[in-house]
């Protein structure tokens, strides 16, 4: 998918980007999840070579809870088997310029989504990879924020050009290591993640427009 990118350029190309052209085209067609009743979800095991860790399941669950909390209960998530889950999270090996992806799907006549997260921080270039190796909580920050971002697309949110937003598009540039670092600095330990929101006021306002009934 697309041309080979240098490691840092691949990161700048962005979480949630398929390729700069194809990703923009697909994200323009985003629609909200069909949230009649509970939104069921499934978190898969990591594929070989993905660098998935068992604790990443917890990060994905916390990411779901973050969005659920942001709309005051208008969204409710509940685990289910893969075949019936409206929202499905998969852990897959890294690809050139592709560290997260959302694909719409239909589940029993309802609009659902499949989210693909690539938790291999070694693919993000030597500087970020070394920082993640030295600091496991920085590694978890990257994986967690990727989950939050891609789940935002699953919920129907588009990229933004505001660096404060979790839905910010890295194609606009900016201090990308700082994007992750500002969240990491708020964490004393891993248990703090579910209590520290990664969502901006604008992120919350947009998702409430879709689900805040």
Structure-token pair, residue 14: 């962005």
Q: What is the CATH number of the domain that holds 199?
A: 3.40.390.10
Number of domains making up the chain: 1
> Are 22 and 2 within 8 A, CB to CB?
yes
**Does some domain include residue 181?**
yes
Furthest-apart CA atoms within the chain: distance in Å: 46
Greater confidence (81 vs 17) lies with: 81
Per residue in 129-172, pLDDT tens?
Answer: 999 999 999 999 999 999 999 999 999 999 999 999 999 998 88
Residue 3 CA to its chain's centroid (Å): 23
**Does some domain include residue 192?**
yes
Amino acid 174: pLDDT: 86
Amino acid 123: pLDDT: 87
Structure-token pair, residue 211: 């689900």
**Does some domain include residue 9?**
no
**Does some domain include residue 81?**
yes
pLDDT category, 3, cuts 50, 70, 90? very low
Per residue in 45-76, pLDDT tens?
Answer: 999 999 999 999 999 999 999 999 998 878 89
Residues linked to residue 42 through DSSP beta bridges, in sequence order: 88
- Cα dihedral: 174, 2, 147, 29 (round 10): 100
**Does some domain include residue 64?**
yes
> Are 198 and 182 within 8 A, CB to CB?
no
Greater confidence (10 vs 31) lies with: 31
**CA neighbor of 59 nearest in space, from 139, 169, 167, 125:** 139
CB atoms near residue 17 (< 10 Å): 26
Per residue in 160-186, pLDDT tens?
Answer: 999 999 999 988 888 989 999 999 999
Distance CA 31, CA 157 (A): 8
> Are 61 and 68 within 8 A, CB to CB?
no
CA dist 19 to 10, 93, 176, 180, 198, Å?
Answer: 10, 16, 18, 21, 25
**Does some domain include residue 213?**
no
Domain that holds residue 137: 15-207
**Does some domain include residue 138?**
yes
Structure-token pair, residue 154: 């699953």
Give CB contacts under 8 A, 24+ apart, made by 132-136: 135/184
Amino acid 29: pLDDT: 55
**Does some domain include residue 146?**
yes
């Amino acid at each position: 998918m697309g041309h080979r990118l240098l490691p840092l350029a691949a990161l700048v190309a962005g979480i949630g980007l398929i390729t700069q052209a194809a990703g923009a085209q697909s994200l323009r067609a985003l629609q909200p999840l069909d949230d009649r009743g509970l939104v069921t979800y499934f978190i898969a095991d990591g594929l070989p070579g993905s660098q998935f860790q068992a604790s990443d399941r917890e990060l994905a669950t916390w990411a779901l809870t973050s969005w659920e909390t942001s709309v005051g209960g208008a969204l409710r998530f509940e685990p289910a088997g893969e075949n019936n889950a409206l929202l499905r999270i998969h852990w897959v090996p890294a690809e050139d310029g592709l560290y997260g992806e959302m694909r719409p799907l239909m589940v029993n006549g309802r609009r659902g989504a499949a989210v693909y997260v690539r938790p291999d921080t070694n693919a993000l270039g030597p500087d970020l990879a070394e920082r993640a190796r030295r600091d496991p909580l920085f590694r978890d920050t990257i994986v967690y924020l990727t989950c939050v971002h891609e789940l935002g697309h699953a919920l129907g949110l588009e990229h933004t050009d505001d660096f404060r937003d979790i839905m910010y598009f890295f194609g606009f540039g900016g201090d990308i290591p700082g994007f992750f670092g500002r969240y990491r600095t708020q964490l004393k330990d891993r248990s703090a993640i579910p209590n520290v929101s990664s969502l901006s006021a604008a992120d919350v306002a947009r998702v409430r427009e879709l689900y805040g009934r």
